[in-house]
Amino acid sequence: MSEHRPTTFGELKAAGYETRTVKDEMRSNLVGKLRSGEELFPGIMGYSDTVVPQIVNAVLAKHDFILLGLRGQAKSRILRQLVSLLDESVPIVTGSEINDDPFAPISKYGRDRLQEYGDDTPIEWIGRDQRFVEKLATPDVTIADMIGDLDPIKAARGGHILGDELTIHYGLLPRANRGVFAINELPDLAGKIQVGLFNILEEGDVQVKGYPVRLALDLLMVFTANPEDYTARGKIITPLKDRIGAEISTHYPPDLETGIDITRQEAWVGRSGTCVEIPDFMEEAVERVAFIAREDKRIDQRSGVSQRMPITVTETIVSNAERRAIQHGEDTAVPRVGDLYAALPAITGKIELEYEGELHGPEKIAQELIQQAASFTFDIRAGGADVEDIIDYFETGGALQVGEDASASACVQGFETVPGLLELVENVGLAGSAAGDGVRAAACELVLEALVAQKRLSRSSVGYARAPQRGPEPGKGHQGFDPMGELNI
């Protein structure tokens, strides 16, 4: 077709334009992308061998489908990216509320326009984004919202009888005609509204109230649902499930590296006026908090631990480090383990607890997650490293007071008093010899926090010291969960 887009029905026919159904259109464009090796879902990580092939199969088979998974698994983002499989633009009868195809209009308005103007019927072009309609399912959604209803105001203004098709107020489904219609959290949709979706999935048409007309809609229907919803708040009625072509299960990142990549992509860490440097071991520790939480029996795994947790935790530790850098006039903000404790609200708000977890409380569990994450990170990166000099220093009565809000240089001065600590972080690669004070301080805190988690040191509101000789008092946990005290060097 020439660069000049047809503006009338006659010009459109002369240009040789052929209409395709939405599913045929998406299938054809998907085949083209597969042949060219183009990335299908940019920014979606960890699904290349699992979820994406199943979506590809569903589109190739021209199936409606549902993405089934826990919160924070990119379900909505995937559905919104389906628009990339649509043509850049398609022609509709100008003024049509339901995107009437000039070659086969389904509304009375579209048919009347074609009959009145013939080849001179004006047409307009709508882009991909205008062909995607998304609705969050809530219990208050009505069948009128979804399909349509009588509009007496339209009847009065147009001088139509109430039975005239021109008095219809179209709902979301008809307005999504010739596009993709997505419903998020399908189980939250009332059962009688789910029944209203039967025909569009099975026969491809809907009927509005008592009007003697069935609208043959051209749609791809896609849905999301959380397995928790099936029992907690609602369910997908069986006849509707049977009509959905494919049920595709999503999942959390399969490995730590993928999780880190997702968090790195999504977290907002670029701050104006302050350079931010996040050590890779801190990225790993943050991600391990989420991975450990997904295995903790005190946390409700049916609810899941959203990937939003490490994202918001990263943003919070950066903010805490930024605040500290501003206070001390530092050019670079470097998050360290102490900042993870400042991010407790970003952790506790993302976990649902089982009964045992409720007994401990969300803050206690979040603190334990941080310590375990620090310990795992240290063991993976420096397992087997000689820490006896560090332990001996505290065993012989040494102590260290490190302030959460102390400057990086002051922290390094304090850590220099612990024999072998700075040398250790350099030798195991946590902070190279060329690293700045911020990274060195963060690395030292990681080592000490790991030793606290392993009960080889203790930490209190005063500072670090040797581990207690007896276990923690029943019901009180380990004293190392208190925030760090003020720096005193």
User: d(Cα 56, Cα 51) in Å, to the nearest integer?
Assistant: 9
pTM for the full predicted model: 0.86
User: d(Cα 54, Cα 424) in Å, to the nearest integer?
Assistant: 48
To the question of domain 9-249 being in CATH 3.40.50.960, the answer is no
Please give the C-alpha separations between residue 437 and each of 10, 188, 279, 441, 464, in angstroms, as whole numbers. 72, 52, 12, 6, 20
pLDDT recorded at residue 143? 84
pLDDT recorded at residue 398? 86
Query: Domain map of the chain by residue range?
Result: 9-249, 256-481
Residue in the block written with tokens 């000039």: 102
User: d(Cα 483, Cα 404) in Å, to the nearest integer?
Assistant: 8
User: d(Cα 480, Cα 270) in Å, to the nearest integer?
Assistant: 32
207, β-bridge pairs: 214
CB 233 within 8 Å of CB 181? no
pLDDT recorded at residue 207? 72
Give 309-327 pLDDT, tens digit per residue. 999 999 999 999 999 999 9
pLDDT recorded at residue 475? 37
User: d(Cα 408, Cα 140) in Å, to the nearest integer?
Assistant: 54
pLDDT recorded at residue 483? 33
Residues of the chain under the 70 pLDDT cut = 1-3, 151-166, 209-212, 229-234, 461-489
End-to-end CA distance of the chain: give it in Å, rounded: 77
CB 166 within 8 Å of CB 154? yes
